Amino acid sequence: MTKKGSEVTIRDVARRAGVSIATVSYVLNESAPISEATRRRVLAAAAELGYRPSALARGLRARESRTLGYSWHQRPPDYWHPILDRFLYSMAETAEAHGYHILTFTHSPHGRPWEAYEDLILTGRVDGFILSETNENDERIRYLLDRGFPFVAFGRANDEWDFPYVDVDGEAGVQTAVEHLLALGHRRIGCIAWPETSLTGRYRYQGYVNALENADIPVDPAWVVRTEHTEAAGRAAMHTLLSLPPERRPTAVVAISDLMAIGAMNALHEAGLTPGEDIAVVGFDDIPTAQYLRPPLTSLRQPIAEVGKRVVEMLLALIRGEELPERRVLLPPRLIVRASSGGPKA
């Protein structure tokens, strides 16, 4: 019935082993030469008592919390966060393997987003941050750079700032997807993209442009619809594309998010067409339900667990004061081919 944590302190271990508390500390941290006999006695005493050093006391003295902060936005109902589960799990797993933990906190995307970060720094609760859903000129990044506080981002910001990040290579991903459509024989390929203001959207769109350029196919401006990240917008975009005259109308469409791809497929159904047979559709994200849609959606799967692992490992190296061998890491997504992408009229 010990309400509060262990009553066993380093002093108890020292007493039992018949040594000073300094010796116990040295043994446990292997931070000084200790004779084999003493070492064994200390370890035995610690084990028998079930001793675990207090994280608070250690942190106070050593000026570290062995904790990493992570914050994410709350999204409106259908802008859900399909990957938080795996991302967070992967980060927690990696951190724990190195004796660290993850503290999750909230921040307001508008207003002063860095305030929550500042608070955690000043109270000494965290040794570093993981950022995600970064945007161009992200104020949190500017703040952390100014302060010189360790952090690693999942996502890029702009070309001027020099900071460590890991990102999924949306450009390469979409390029792969479009090349897949080209290989199936498609020549008129549409793109449902985000507004130009979205950095991630620009990278993904660039992949579309690259693939068509490599294939010597000029991009018909009518093939590109820029709209917001909702199912309704994706649906409307597809209706716009369908309204093109038959000889200009795309036979395949790549949507830069699954949510918009779902909208596109629903628009096809409304028009009495079958995705994957009449018009091919490809998405991006590979959300869990993608495989159960009718037809199952071809999509790009982000290596999200890998991102979580890399991001934490980089941050830990940074905290240890090491130079990072790679400060900017791009990981390719994997194209998962399903029935929504078929040949031009197959």
What is the rounded distance in angstroms from the CA atom of residue 269 to the CA atom of residue 235?
A: 10
Q: CB nearer to DNA: give 18 or 288.
A: 18
Contacting positions for DNA (CB under 7 A): 7-11, 18-26, 28-29, 31-35, 37-39, 51-54, 57-58, 60-63
Contact partner, 147, from DNA, its own copies, none, Cβ < 5-8 Å per class: its own copies
What is the rounded distance in angstroms from the CA atom of residue 30 to the CA atom of residue 23?
A: 10
Contact partner, 173, from its own copies, DNA, none, Cβ < 5-8 Å per class: none
Q: CB nearer to DNA: give 30 or 159.
A: 30
CB 139 within 8 A of CB 116: no
Min dist CB 281 to its own copies, Å, is 14
CB 232 within 8 A of CB 263: yes
List the beta bridge partners of residue 192: 225, 255
Contact partner, 31, from DNA, its own copies, none, Cβ < 5-8 Å per class: DNA
Nearest to 169 by CA among 314, 318, 306: 306
Min dist CB 28 to its own copies, Å, is 13
CB 190 within 8 A of CB 243: no
Q: CB nearer to DNA: give 22 or 183.
A: 22
What is the rounded distance in angstroms from the CA atom of residue 291 to the CA atom of residue 297?
A: 6
Min dist CB 335 to its own copies, Å, is 16
Min dist CB 305 to its own copies, Å, is 9
Nearest to 312 by CA among 158, 97, 156: 97
Q: CB nearer to DNA: give 24 or 212.
A: 24
Min dist CB 214 to its own copies, Å, is 32
